[in-house]
Structure 1
């Protein structure tokens, strides 16, 4: 996959806890049925072996729907399962180091927390930018600030790299986020915790398409 090839609109970030005790893989497949077209698997607490096993099974499900799977913050898992991408944050290894570790075939997405992060020369190598958080969320307290719609607009005018907005993204603010310049929205609990994950994903897709 070419790192500049980014046709995706609805990006699911998985969260086992947000599935509220339901089977993780059932939630994932329902989300795919509803229209998710890119998935990031995020596991902070699993062992390397368990993460790899879970990612392999998730990749097999995603492949049935022709949806790419990105691994969050673990180049070893991404490389071992031949993931479709790797996502790293500002506190992780830099893009150049990640590319050396993972090899040339797997593109790397990068979280941006402030406009200053854009000044890092290696940021230009990103497949996409995760704009984090577009709106502050109570579940993530370690962020420096929130972008807001105006910040997202400034970032859009400063770069041609695809932008994925994450952080308190809801159905009722999706259109404004897309209209402010995001190429895609990233959703966690809005899909994983929904009573009907497929319907929730479909609703998000509908909001995205209304903004276009």
Structure 2
């Protein structure tokens, strides 16, 4: 998991005229290390059907598939794990349901929450939003961006890998890695790119420069 350089978070509404499976297939060709099925704009049935196709691509490529929020969908899709936020099931409950081998991530923005998530058994942390981003309604203003210094403080406070998310691009990814993050997670930098495969490659190059 410490080798997760680039982490794709899917969102069909931010993918232009491409489907999520098409984006995932292109990102895999570009070398993406892990895929999170997000898709907050569709219902559970649609997300499941989409996830089945995505799962075929990730399984064939040996790329881990993480499901955002929904432990039930993670189970149904035989995903590798789940990523949880403040309003989702607690990490310990997800662990009990998914088993010891499941990968469980937790979104945090503060040091105390990071320590709590680690103690609860999270395998990695998604930390952000680092930079201003338009992919979430509640963090699209600069005042909500936590910045690089907070990332560094969280990295120093825990022993599990940190993945930086929120406004990350090929131009600033190296700074996230310089702050101690193991990798970066993106939505639009890949999903909205003219060439998602090439965009993934650029991010990998940027992360490598920061290591």
What is the TM-score normalised by the length of structure 2?
A: 0.91
Equivalent pairs, count: 208
SS of alignment partner, residue 138 of structure 2: coil
The equivalent residue for 1:110 is 106
Large movers: runs of 4+ above 6 Å = none
Aligned counterparts of 1:123 and 1:28: Cα–Cα separation in 2? 32
SS of alignment partner, residue 172 of structure 2: helix
Task: List per-residue Cα deviations over 1:120-147 (Å, max 9, x = no partner).
Answer: 3664411100002112323324359432
Query: Does the 8 Å contact 2:7/2:183 carry over to 1?
Result: yes
Gaps of 5+ in 1: none
Matched, 1:151 2:150: yes
Aligned counterparts of 2:60 and 2:20: Cα–Cα separation in 1? 16
Matches within 5 A, 1:161-180: 161-180=160-179
Gaps of 5+ in 2: none
SS of alignment partner, residue 184 of structure 2: strand
Matches within 5 A, 1:44-83: 44-83=40-79
Aligned counterparts of 2:118 and 2:209: Cα–Cα separation in 1? 34
Aligned counterparts of 1:18 and 1:86: Cα–Cα separation in 2? 21
Aligned counterparts of 1:49 and 1:121: Cα–Cα separation in 2? 29
Aligned counterparts of 1:157 and 1:23: Cα–Cα separation in 2? 38
Task: List per-residue Cα deviations over 1:153-182 (Å, max 9, x = no partner).
Answer: 111111111000000001110111101111
